[in-house]
Structure 1
Amino acid sequence: MSRSPLRSSIGLKIVMAVTGILLVFFLIAHMLGNLKVFAGQASFEHYAHWLREFGAPILPGTWFLWIQRVLLLVAVIGHIASAAVLAKRARAAQPVRYAHRRPVRTGYAARTMRWGGVIILLFVIYHILDLTTGTLNPVGDPHSPFANVVADFAPSRWYVTLFYTLAVVALGFHLRHGVYSALRTLGQQTPRGQRNVKAIALVFSVLLCAGFLAVPFAVLFGLVR
Protein backbone atom coordinates (compact mmCIF):
# COMPACT_ATOMS: atom_id res chain seq x y z
CA MET A 1 0.00 0.00 0.00
CA SER A 2 1.39 3.37 -0.97
CA ARG A 3 1.88 5.98 1.74
CA SER A 4 -0.43 9.00 1.56
CA PRO A 5 1.28 12.30 0.62
CA LEU A 6 0.55 13.76 4.06
CA ARG A 7 2.38 10.89 5.79
CA SER A 8 5.40 11.06 3.50
CA SER A 9 8.54 12.78 4.78
CA ILE A 10 7.92 15.75 2.49
CA GLY A 11 4.31 15.94 3.63
CA LEU A 12 5.35 15.85 7.29
CA LYS A 13 7.89 18.61 6.70
CA ILE A 14 5.16 20.71 5.12
CA VAL A 15 2.93 20.07 8.16
CA MET A 16 5.79 21.13 10.44
CA ALA A 17 6.37 24.28 8.40
CA VAL A 18 2.70 25.33 8.26
CA THR A 19 2.05 24.63 11.95
CA GLY A 20 5.32 26.34 12.85
CA ILE A 21 4.29 29.48 10.94
CA LEU A 22 0.90 29.53 12.70
CA LEU A 23 2.58 29.20 16.09
CA VAL A 24 5.10 31.94 15.30
CA PHE A 25 2.31 34.36 14.33
CA PHE A 26 0.53 33.51 17.57
CA LEU A 27 3.71 34.12 19.58
CA ILE A 28 4.20 37.53 17.98
CA ALA A 29 0.59 38.55 18.68
CA HIS A 30 0.79 37.17 22.23
CA MET A 31 4.02 39.04 22.95
CA LEU A 32 2.59 42.33 21.67
CA GLY A 33 -0.49 41.79 23.80
CA ASN A 34 1.65 41.13 26.88
CA LEU A 35 3.50 44.41 26.37
CA LYS A 36 0.18 46.22 26.91
CA VAL A 37 0.93 45.79 30.61
CA PHE A 38 3.35 48.74 30.35
CA ALA A 39 0.47 50.99 29.29
CA GLY A 40 -1.18 50.48 32.68
CA GLN A 41 -3.85 48.32 34.25
CA ALA A 42 -6.78 49.88 32.39
CA SER A 43 -5.17 49.42 28.98
CA PHE A 44 -4.11 45.83 29.69
CA GLU A 45 -7.49 44.77 31.01
CA HIS A 46 -9.27 46.50 28.13
CA TYR A 47 -7.14 44.39 25.78
CA ALA A 48 -7.98 41.21 27.71
CA HIS A 49 -11.69 42.07 27.59
CA TRP A 50 -11.44 42.81 23.86
CA LEU A 51 -10.02 39.32 23.27
CA ARG A 52 -13.02 37.78 24.99
CA GLU A 53 -15.49 39.87 23.00
CA PHE A 54 -13.72 39.74 19.64
CA GLY A 55 -16.04 38.65 16.83
CA ALA A 56 -19.23 39.77 18.56
CA PRO A 57 -22.05 39.80 17.70
CA ILE A 58 -21.30 37.20 15.01
CA LEU A 59 -19.53 35.00 17.59
CA PRO A 60 -21.18 34.80 21.00
CA GLY A 61 -19.25 35.18 24.24
CA THR A 62 -15.73 33.77 24.24
CA TRP A 63 -16.09 31.70 21.07
CA PHE A 64 -13.16 33.44 19.36
CA LEU A 65 -10.85 32.48 22.21
CA TRP A 66 -12.00 28.87 22.10
CA ILE A 67 -11.64 28.68 18.32
CA GLN A 68 -8.14 30.09 18.71
CA ARG A 69 -7.29 27.59 21.45
CA VAL A 70 -8.54 24.63 19.41
CA LEU A 71 -6.57 25.74 16.35
CA LEU A 72 -3.44 26.22 18.44
CA LEU A 73 -3.88 22.80 20.04
CA VAL A 74 -4.21 21.19 16.60
CA ALA A 75 -1.12 23.08 15.40
CA VAL A 76 0.92 22.02 18.44
CA ILE A 77 -0.12 18.36 18.12
CA GLY A 78 0.60 18.40 14.38
CA HIS A 79 3.99 20.04 14.94
CA ILE A 80 5.06 17.62 17.68
CA ALA A 81 3.73 14.51 15.92
CA SER A 82 5.42 15.42 12.63
CA ALA A 83 8.72 16.11 14.38
CA ALA A 84 8.54 12.80 16.27
CA VAL A 85 7.83 10.75 13.13
CA LEU A 86 10.58 12.48 11.15
CA ALA A 87 13.08 11.95 13.97
CA LYS A 88 12.13 8.27 14.18
CA ARG A 89 12.58 7.83 10.43
CA ALA A 90 15.95 9.60 10.55
CA ARG A 91 17.16 7.19 13.26
CA ALA A 92 15.82 4.19 11.35
CA ALA A 93 17.70 5.27 8.24
CA GLN A 94 21.00 4.95 10.13
CA PRO A 95 20.68 1.69 12.09
CA VAL A 96 24.43 1.00 12.24
CA ARG A 97 26.73 3.05 14.43
CA TYR A 98 30.25 3.09 13.08
CA ALA A 99 33.09 3.01 15.59
CA HIS A 100 35.12 5.64 13.75
CA ARG A 101 32.26 7.73 12.47
CA ARG A 102 33.09 11.43 12.33
CA PRO A 103 30.74 13.39 14.62
CA VAL A 104 28.33 15.66 12.82
CA ARG A 105 28.80 19.31 13.71
CA THR A 106 25.51 20.78 14.76
CA GLY A 107 24.57 23.92 16.62
CA TYR A 108 23.46 23.95 20.23
CA ALA A 109 19.90 24.80 19.19
CA ALA A 110 19.71 21.82 16.84
CA ARG A 111 20.98 19.42 19.51
CA THR A 112 18.49 20.67 22.10
CA MET A 113 15.35 20.90 19.94
CA ARG A 114 13.84 17.81 21.59
CA TRP A 115 14.41 18.85 25.21
CA GLY A 116 13.53 22.44 24.39
CA GLY A 117 10.21 21.21 23.00
CA VAL A 118 9.53 19.25 26.21
CA ILE A 119 10.29 22.30 28.39
CA ILE A 120 8.05 24.49 26.25
CA LEU A 121 5.20 21.95 26.39
CA LEU A 122 5.41 21.68 30.20
CA PHE A 123 5.47 25.46 30.48
CA VAL A 124 2.42 25.85 28.22
CA ILE A 125 0.48 23.45 30.48
CA TYR A 126 1.55 25.41 33.57
CA HIS A 127 0.85 28.74 31.88
CA ILE A 128 -2.72 27.70 31.07
CA LEU A 129 -3.36 26.54 34.64
CA ASP A 130 -1.80 29.73 35.95
CA LEU A 131 -3.01 32.67 33.86
CA THR A 132 -5.86 31.15 31.83
CA THR A 133 -7.82 29.10 34.37
CA GLY A 134 -6.28 30.78 37.44
CA THR A 135 -5.91 27.41 39.18
CA LEU A 136 -2.27 27.94 40.15
CA ASN A 137 -2.36 31.73 40.37
CA PRO A 138 -2.22 33.29 43.87
CA VAL A 139 -5.01 35.74 42.93
CA GLY A 140 -6.87 33.88 40.21
CA ASP A 141 -9.26 36.77 39.57
CA PRO A 142 -10.94 36.28 36.16
CA HIS A 143 -11.97 39.95 36.18
CA SER A 144 -8.46 41.35 36.70
CA PRO A 145 -5.80 39.85 34.40
CA PHE A 146 -3.43 42.67 35.42
CA ALA A 147 -3.63 41.66 39.09
CA ASN A 148 -3.00 38.04 38.15
CA VAL A 149 0.15 38.95 36.22
CA VAL A 150 1.50 41.18 39.00
CA ALA A 151 0.82 38.52 41.64
CA ASP A 152 2.32 35.81 39.47
CA PHE A 153 5.75 37.40 39.06
CA ALA A 154 6.01 39.03 42.48
CA PRO A 155 9.49 38.89 44.10
CA SER A 156 8.31 36.24 46.56
CA ARG A 157 7.51 33.99 43.58
CA TRP A 158 10.95 34.30 41.95
CA TYR A 159 10.84 30.61 41.05
CA VAL A 160 7.95 31.30 38.66
CA THR A 161 10.00 33.97 36.91
CA LEU A 162 12.94 31.54 36.78
CA PHE A 163 10.78 28.82 35.19
CA TYR A 164 9.30 31.37 32.78
CA THR A 165 12.80 32.53 31.80
CA LEU A 166 13.98 28.96 31.24
CA ALA A 167 10.98 28.24 29.01
CA VAL A 168 11.41 31.46 27.01
CA VAL A 169 15.13 30.80 26.48
CA ALA A 170 14.31 27.26 25.32
CA LEU A 171 11.72 28.79 22.99
CA GLY A 172 14.38 31.17 21.66
CA PHE A 173 16.75 28.33 20.77
CA HIS A 174 13.84 26.40 19.24
CA LEU A 175 12.79 29.39 17.12
CA ARG A 176 16.34 30.24 16.08
CA HIS A 177 16.91 26.76 14.69
CA GLY A 178 13.40 26.50 13.23
CA VAL A 179 13.51 29.86 11.44
CA TYR A 180 17.02 29.14 10.16
CA SER A 181 15.98 25.71 8.82
CA ALA A 182 12.82 27.11 7.22
CA LEU A 183 14.67 29.92 5.43
CA ARG A 184 17.35 27.50 4.20
CA THR A 185 14.62 25.23 2.85
CA LEU A 186 13.21 28.18 0.93
CA GLY A 187 16.43 28.41 -1.04
CA GLN A 188 19.06 30.23 1.01
CA GLN A 189 21.77 27.65 0.32
CA THR A 190 24.70 29.86 -0.67
CA PRO A 191 27.32 30.77 1.99
CA ARG A 192 26.17 34.39 1.98
CA GLY A 193 22.50 33.34 2.11
CA GLN A 194 23.18 31.06 5.08
CA ARG A 195 24.96 33.85 6.94
CA ASN A 196 22.00 36.14 6.30
CA VAL A 197 19.40 33.65 7.50
CA LYS A 198 21.46 32.90 10.61
CA ALA A 199 21.46 36.61 11.42
CA ILE A 200 17.73 36.95 10.73
CA ALA A 201 16.89 33.91 12.85
CA LEU A 202 19.06 35.14 15.72
CA VAL A 203 17.69 38.71 15.72
CA PHE A 204 14.09 37.50 15.50
CA SER A 205 14.54 35.03 18.37
CA VAL A 206 16.30 37.56 20.60
CA LEU A 207 13.64 40.22 20.03
CA LEU A 208 10.80 37.80 20.71
CA CYS A 209 12.45 36.49 23.88
CA ALA A 210 13.17 40.01 25.08
CA GLY A 211 9.53 40.95 24.54
CA PHE A 212 8.28 38.00 26.55
CA LEU A 213 10.82 38.43 29.36
CA ALA A 214 10.23 42.18 29.71
CA VAL A 215 6.94 41.67 31.59
CA PRO A 216 7.99 39.24 34.36
CA PHE A 217 11.22 41.12 35.06
CA ALA A 218 9.40 44.47 35.11
CA VAL A 219 7.08 43.04 37.77
CA LEU A 220 9.95 41.38 39.63
CA PHE A 221 11.87 44.67 39.91
CA GLY A 222 8.82 46.79 40.71
CA LEU A 223 8.54 48.65 37.41
CA VAL A 224 5.01 47.28 37.01
CA ARG A 225 2.86 47.03 40.12
Structure 2
Amino acid sequence: MGHPRSSVVLKLVMAVTGLLLVAFLYVHMIGNLKIFFGQETFDHYAHWLRTIGTPLLPNDWYLWIQRFVLTVAAIAHIVIATVLARRARRARPVRYAHRPKVQASYAARTMRWGGVIILLFVIYHILDLTTGTLNPNGAPGQPYANVVADFDPSRWYVTLFYTLSIVAVGFHLRHGIWSSFRTLGQQTMRGQRIGKAVALVLSVVLVVGYLSVPFAVLTGLVD
Protein backbone atom coordinates (compact mmCIF):
# COMPACT_ATOMS: atom_id res chain seq x y z
CA MET A 1 0.00 0.00 0.00
CA GLY A 2 1.34 3.46 -0.90
CA HIS A 3 2.39 5.97 1.73
CA PRO A 4 -0.49 8.29 2.75
CA ARG A 5 1.60 11.36 1.94
CA SER A 6 2.35 10.12 -1.56
CA SER A 7 -1.38 9.54 -2.10
CA VAL A 8 -2.08 13.15 -1.13
CA VAL A 9 0.52 14.35 -3.64
CA LEU A 10 -0.96 12.13 -6.34
CA LYS A 11 -4.47 13.43 -5.62
CA LEU A 12 -3.17 17.00 -5.84
CA VAL A 13 -1.48 16.33 -9.20
CA MET A 14 -4.63 14.60 -10.43
CA ALA A 15 -6.74 17.59 -9.40
CA VAL A 16 -4.40 20.07 -11.10
CA THR A 17 -4.16 18.07 -14.34
CA GLY A 18 -7.93 17.63 -14.31
CA LEU A 19 -8.50 21.37 -13.90
CA LEU A 20 -6.04 22.04 -16.73
CA LEU A 21 -8.02 19.71 -19.01
CA VAL A 22 -11.29 21.34 -17.93
CA ALA A 23 -9.88 24.79 -18.72
CA PHE A 24 -8.97 23.57 -22.21
CA LEU A 25 -12.44 22.10 -22.70
CA TYR A 26 -14.04 25.46 -21.92
CA VAL A 27 -11.70 27.45 -24.17
CA HIS A 28 -12.27 24.91 -26.95
CA MET A 29 -16.04 25.11 -26.43
CA ILE A 30 -16.01 28.90 -26.71
CA GLY A 31 -14.07 28.58 -29.96
CA ASN A 32 -16.56 26.03 -31.28
CA LEU A 33 -19.45 28.42 -30.63
CA LYS A 34 -17.96 30.85 -33.14
CA ILE A 35 -19.55 28.65 -35.79
CA PHE A 36 -22.83 30.46 -35.03
CA PHE A 37 -21.28 33.70 -36.34
CA GLY A 38 -20.87 32.25 -39.82
CA GLN A 39 -18.35 30.46 -41.99
CA GLU A 40 -15.96 33.37 -42.40
CA THR A 41 -15.68 34.00 -38.66
CA PHE A 42 -15.24 30.32 -37.82
CA ASP A 43 -12.66 29.68 -40.53
CA HIS A 44 -10.76 32.83 -39.54
CA TYR A 45 -10.68 31.67 -35.91
CA ALA A 46 -9.34 28.25 -36.94
CA HIS A 47 -6.64 29.92 -39.03
CA TRP A 48 -5.75 32.27 -36.16
CA LEU A 49 -5.10 29.29 -33.88
CA ARG A 50 -2.34 28.19 -36.24
CA THR A 51 -0.63 31.58 -36.05
CA ILE A 52 -0.55 32.02 -32.25
CA GLY A 53 2.98 32.84 -31.17
CA THR A 54 4.20 34.06 -34.55
CA PRO A 55 6.69 35.38 -35.45
CA LEU A 56 8.39 34.05 -32.31
CA LEU A 57 7.12 30.56 -33.17
CA PRO A 58 6.57 29.07 -36.64
CA ASN A 59 2.99 28.38 -37.73
CA ASP A 60 1.30 25.49 -35.91
CA TRP A 61 3.97 25.28 -33.21
CA TYR A 62 1.63 26.64 -30.53
CA LEU A 63 -0.94 23.96 -31.38
CA TRP A 64 1.69 21.21 -31.16
CA ILE A 65 2.94 22.54 -27.82
CA GLN A 66 -0.64 22.65 -26.57
CA ARG A 67 -1.27 19.09 -27.77
CA PHE A 68 1.90 17.88 -26.07
CA VAL A 69 1.01 19.52 -22.74
CA LEU A 70 -2.58 18.22 -22.86
CA THR A 71 -1.39 14.72 -23.77
CA VAL A 72 1.04 14.65 -20.84
CA ALA A 73 -1.68 15.97 -18.51
CA ALA A 74 -4.21 13.39 -19.75
CA ILE A 75 -1.75 10.48 -19.40
CA ALA A 76 -0.73 11.62 -15.91
CA HIS A 77 -4.41 11.98 -14.97
CA ILE A 78 -5.25 8.45 -16.17
CA VAL A 79 -2.18 6.81 -14.60
CA ILE A 80 -2.71 8.50 -11.24
CA ALA A 81 -6.42 7.62 -11.26
CA THR A 82 -5.48 3.97 -11.83
CA VAL A 83 -2.85 3.99 -9.07
CA LEU A 84 -5.21 5.61 -6.55
CA ALA A 85 -8.03 3.21 -7.42
CA ARG A 86 -5.77 0.21 -6.81
CA ARG A 87 -4.56 1.65 -3.52
CA ALA A 88 -8.14 2.28 -2.42
CA ARG A 89 -9.10 -1.34 -3.19
CA ARG A 90 -6.13 -2.69 -1.23
CA ALA A 91 -6.93 -0.39 1.69
CA ARG A 92 -10.54 -1.65 1.88
CA PRO A 93 -10.38 -5.45 1.71
CA VAL A 94 -13.74 -5.80 3.45
CA ARG A 95 -16.69 -5.17 1.16
CA TYR A 96 -19.34 -2.78 2.45
CA ALA A 97 -22.90 -3.98 2.30
CA HIS A 98 -24.69 -0.68 2.76
CA ARG A 99 -25.66 2.32 0.69
CA PRO A 100 -22.27 4.10 0.85
CA LYS A 101 -20.86 1.17 -1.11
CA VAL A 102 -23.54 1.57 -3.76
CA GLN A 103 -22.83 5.28 -4.10
CA ALA A 104 -19.06 4.76 -4.22
CA SER A 105 -19.39 1.94 -6.75
CA TYR A 106 -21.67 4.06 -8.95
CA ALA A 107 -19.20 6.95 -8.88
CA ALA A 108 -16.27 4.63 -9.59
CA ARG A 109 -18.06 2.96 -12.51
CA THR A 110 -19.13 6.32 -13.91
CA MET A 111 -15.59 7.67 -13.79
CA ARG A 112 -14.03 4.46 -15.13
CA TRP A 113 -16.37 3.85 -18.08
CA GLY A 114 -16.73 7.55 -18.69
CA GLY A 115 -12.95 7.77 -18.95
CA VAL A 116 -12.87 4.94 -21.50
CA ILE A 117 -15.61 6.55 -23.63
CA ILE A 118 -13.85 9.92 -23.47
CA LEU A 119 -10.54 8.36 -24.54
CA LEU A 120 -12.17 6.66 -27.55
CA PHE A 121 -13.95 9.90 -28.40
CA VAL A 122 -10.73 11.93 -28.29
CA ILE A 123 -9.05 9.46 -30.67
CA TYR A 124 -12.01 9.60 -33.07
CA HIS A 125 -12.25 13.38 -32.78
CA ILE A 126 -8.59 13.81 -33.74
CA LEU A 127 -8.95 11.50 -36.75
CA ASP A 128 -12.17 13.26 -37.72
CA LEU A 129 -11.70 17.01 -37.32
CA THR A 130 -7.94 17.37 -36.76
CA THR A 131 -6.38 15.11 -39.38
CA GLY A 132 -9.56 14.85 -41.49
CA THR A 133 -8.99 11.12 -42.01
CA LEU A 134 -12.53 10.10 -41.04
CA ASN A 135 -14.26 13.29 -42.11
CA PRO A 136 -16.46 13.09 -45.26
CA ASN A 137 -15.13 16.47 -46.40
CA GLY A 138 -11.73 16.39 -44.73
CA ALA A 139 -10.38 19.43 -46.55
CA PRO A 140 -7.48 21.29 -44.88
CA GLY A 141 -8.32 24.92 -44.22
CA GLN A 142 -12.09 24.35 -44.37
CA PRO A 143 -13.08 23.75 -40.72
CA TYR A 144 -16.62 25.10 -41.16
CA ALA A 145 -17.33 22.82 -44.12
CA ASN A 146 -15.76 19.88 -42.28
CA VAL A 147 -18.01 20.38 -39.23
CA VAL A 148 -21.15 20.74 -41.36
CA ALA A 149 -20.27 17.61 -43.35
CA ASP A 150 -19.49 15.72 -40.16
CA PHE A 151 -22.90 16.27 -38.54
CA ASP A 152 -25.01 16.05 -41.68
CA PRO A 153 -28.42 14.45 -40.91
CA SER A 154 -27.42 11.39 -42.95
CA ARG A 155 -24.61 10.81 -40.45
CA TRP A 156 -26.94 10.69 -37.44
CA TYR A 157 -24.83 7.92 -35.92
CA VAL A 158 -21.88 10.34 -35.63
CA THR A 159 -24.09 12.86 -33.83
CA LEU A 160 -25.35 10.08 -31.55
CA PHE A 161 -21.81 8.97 -30.68
CA TYR A 162 -20.80 12.60 -30.14
CA THR A 163 -23.79 13.14 -27.85
CA LEU A 164 -23.09 10.05 -25.75
CA SER A 165 -19.43 11.04 -25.47
CA ILE A 166 -20.16 14.60 -24.39
CA VAL A 167 -22.71 13.41 -21.82
CA ALA A 168 -20.01 11.04 -20.51
CA VAL A 169 -17.68 14.05 -20.30
CA GLY A 170 -20.35 15.88 -18.32
CA PHE A 171 -20.73 13.06 -15.76
CA HIS A 172 -16.95 12.68 -15.52
CA LEU A 173 -16.55 16.43 -15.09
CA ARG A 174 -19.23 16.71 -12.43
CA HIS A 175 -17.65 14.07 -10.23
CA GLY A 176 -14.11 15.17 -11.04
CA ILE A 177 -14.64 18.86 -10.20
CA TRP A 178 -16.33 17.96 -6.94
CA SER A 179 -13.44 15.63 -6.05
CA SER A 180 -10.96 18.37 -6.94
CA PHE A 181 -12.71 20.78 -4.59
CA ARG A 182 -12.29 18.27 -1.76
CA THR A 183 -8.68 17.55 -2.67
CA LEU A 184 -7.83 21.25 -2.77
CA GLY A 185 -9.19 21.82 0.73
CA GLN A 186 -12.96 22.21 0.62
CA GLN A 187 -13.73 19.62 3.31
CA THR A 188 -16.50 21.40 5.23
CA MET A 189 -20.16 20.58 4.58
CA ARG A 190 -20.75 24.08 3.21
CA GLY A 191 -17.67 23.80 1.01
CA GLN A 192 -18.81 20.44 -0.33
CA ARG A 193 -22.29 21.77 -1.10
CA ILE A 194 -20.77 24.68 -3.00
CA GLY A 195 -18.42 22.28 -4.77
CA LYS A 196 -21.30 20.05 -5.88
CA ALA A 197 -23.33 23.04 -7.12
CA VAL A 198 -20.37 24.50 -9.04
CA ALA A 199 -19.55 21.07 -10.52
CA LEU A 200 -23.15 20.59 -11.68
CA VAL A 201 -23.41 24.04 -13.27
CA LEU A 202 -20.04 23.79 -15.04
CA SER A 203 -20.88 20.33 -16.35
CA VAL A 204 -24.30 21.35 -17.69
CA VAL A 205 -22.89 24.46 -19.37
CA LEU A 206 -20.15 22.38 -21.00
CA VAL A 207 -22.54 19.70 -22.26
CA VAL A 208 -25.02 22.23 -23.65
CA GLY A 209 -22.24 24.27 -25.24
CA TYR A 210 -20.67 21.33 -27.03
CA LEU A 211 -23.93 19.70 -28.12
CA SER A 212 -25.33 22.96 -29.51
CA VAL A 213 -23.02 22.68 -32.54
CA PRO A 214 -23.95 19.20 -33.86
CA PHE A 215 -27.64 19.74 -33.17
CA ALA A 216 -27.51 23.13 -34.92
CA VAL A 217 -26.12 21.37 -38.00
CA LEU A 218 -28.60 18.50 -37.64
CA THR A 219 -31.56 20.88 -37.56
CA GLY A 220 -30.29 23.14 -40.33
CA LEU A 221 -29.56 26.14 -38.10
CA VAL A 222 -25.96 25.89 -39.28
CA ASP A 223 -25.47 24.77 -42.89
Q: TM-score by structure 2 length? A: 0.93
Question: In the TM superposition, what is the alpha-carbon distance from 1:176 to its structure 2 partner?
Answer: 0.6
Q: Deviations over 1:33-87 (max 9, x none)?
A: 0000000000000000000111000001210010000001000000000000000
Q: Deviations over 1:89-124 (max 9, x none)?
A: 1111123446xx324252755541000000000000
Aligned 8 A contact 1:110 1:177 in 2:
no
Q: Partners of 1:145 and 1:186 in 2: how far apart?
A: 38
Letter matched to residue 27 of structure 1: L
Aligned 8 A contact 1:36 1:44 in 2:
yes
Q: Partners of 2:11 and 2:160 in 1: how far apart?
A: 33
In structure 2, what is the equivalent of residue 136 of structure 1? 134
Percent of pairs with identical residues: 70
Deviant stretches of 4+, over 6 Å: none
Is the alpha carbon distance of 1:190 and 1:14 closer, same or farther for their aligned partners in structure 2, counting shifts above 3 Å? closer
Is the alpha carbon distance of 1:184 and 1:10 closer, same or farther for their aligned partners in structure 2, counting shifts above 3 Å? closer
Q: Partners of 1:159 and 1:192 in 2: how far apart?
A: 43
Q: Deviations over 1:141-167 (max 9, x none)?
A: 012000000000000000000000001
Is the alpha carbon distance of 1:184 and 1:96 closer, same or farther for their aligned partners in structure 2, counting shifts above 3 Å? closer
In structure 2, what is the equivalent of residue 33 of structure 1? 31
Structure 2 unmatched runs, 5+:
none
Pairing of 1:112-151 with structure 2 (within 5 A): 112-151=110-149
Q: Partners of 2:107 and 2:204 in 1: how far apart?
A: 13
Letter matched to residue 103 of structure 2: T
In structure 2, what is the equivalent of residue 66 of structure 1? 64
Aligned 8 A contact 2:129 2:146 in 1:
yes
Q: Partners of 2:108 and 2:95 in 1: how far apart?
A: 20
Letter matched to residue 216 of structure 2: A
Q: Deviations over 1:154-184 (max 9, x none)?
A: 0000000000000100000011111111223
Q: Deviations over 1:177-210 (max 9, x none)?
A: 1111122333433333322221111111000110
In structure 2, what is the equivalent of residue 156 of structure 1? 154
In structure 2, what is the equivalent of residue 102 of structure 1? 98
Q: Partners of 1:95 and 1:191 in 2: how far apart?
A: 28
Q: Partners of 2:52 and 2:113 in 1: how far apart?
A: 35
Q: Partners of 1:80 and 1:126 in 2: how far apart?
A: 18
The higher-RCO structure (CA 8 Å, 6+ apart) is 2
Q: TM-score by structure 1 length? A: 0.92
Question: In the TM superposition, what is the alpha-carbon distance from 1:140 to its structure 2 partner?
Answer: 0.4
Tell which deviates more after alignment, 12-21 or 209-218: 12-21
Tell which deviates more after alignment, 30-39 or 184-193: 184-193
Is the alpha carbon distance of 1:74 and 1:167 closer, same or farther for their aligned partners in structure 2, counting shifts above 3 Å? same
Tell which deviates more after alignment, 101-110 or 82-91: 101-110
Q: Secondary structure at the match of 2:103?
A: coil
- Please report the RMSD computed on the Cα atoms of aligned residues, expressed in angstroms: 1.7
